[in-house]
């Protein structure tokens, strides 16, 4: 199952604005190597999960991964061929708002080059531009 909140105060929320540069959560806390976003956007729970799986496959379960963003934003959509009006659509999926500079994944692993290769494979699954950061 994909990441999503267990319980929310409100079912649906407004779209909001894209975030500017992030000053909190923009440096490594847990791991030695991390994947940092360089642009703002939305990352769905499916994209996060597929990136996590790609990173895990390259690491061969020898390292530890931390996911620093959580998809707590409900994205709604109406069914196709439905007329305008009649309220907001149902929640179709969950996503995370990502600001430029926010850390997405962190890794700790013995082999430095394996972890860089793993983060590069995870990067291809994400819809935003990222860069690899080390201590």
Q: How far apart are CA 107 and CA 112, in angstroms?
A: 10
pLDDT value of position 76: 95
Instruction: Using DSSP bridges, classify how beta strands 41-44 and 64-67 pair: parallel, antiparallel or unpaired.
Output: unpaired
Q: HSE, CB side, 13 Å, CA atoms: give it for residue 32.
A: 11
Q: How far apart are CA 105 and CA 107, in angstroms?
A: 7
Asked whether the beta carbons of 30 and 124 are under 8 A apart, the reply is: no
Hey, what are 98's tokens?
């990502």
Domains of the chain: 33-77+90-134 (3.90.1170.10)
Report the predicted TM-score, pTM, of the whole model to 2 decimal places: 0.90
pLDDT tens track, the chain, 135 positions? 789 999 999 999 998 888 888 888 889 999 999 999 999 999 999 999 999 999 999 998 789 999 999 999 999 999 999 999 999 999 999 999 999 999 999 999 999 999 999 999 999 999 999 999 998
pLDDT value of position 43: 96
């Amino acid at each position: 199952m994909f990441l999503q909140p267990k319980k929310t105060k409100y079912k649906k929320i407004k779209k909001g604005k894209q975030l500017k540069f992030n000053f909190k959560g923009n440096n490594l806390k847990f791991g030695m190597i991390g994947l940092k976003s360089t642009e703002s956007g939305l990352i769905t729970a499916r994209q996060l999960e597929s990136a996590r799986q790609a990173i895990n496959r390259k690491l061969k379960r020898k390292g530890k991964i931390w996911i620093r963003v959580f998809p707590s934003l409900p994205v709604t959509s109406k069914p196709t061929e439905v007329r305008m009006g009649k309220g907001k659509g149902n929640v179709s999926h969950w996503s995370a708002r990502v600001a430029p500079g926010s850390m997405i994944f962190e890794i700790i692993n013995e082999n430095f080059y394996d972890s860089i290769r793993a983060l590069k494979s995870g990067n291809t699954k994400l819809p935003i531009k990222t860069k690899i950061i080390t201590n």
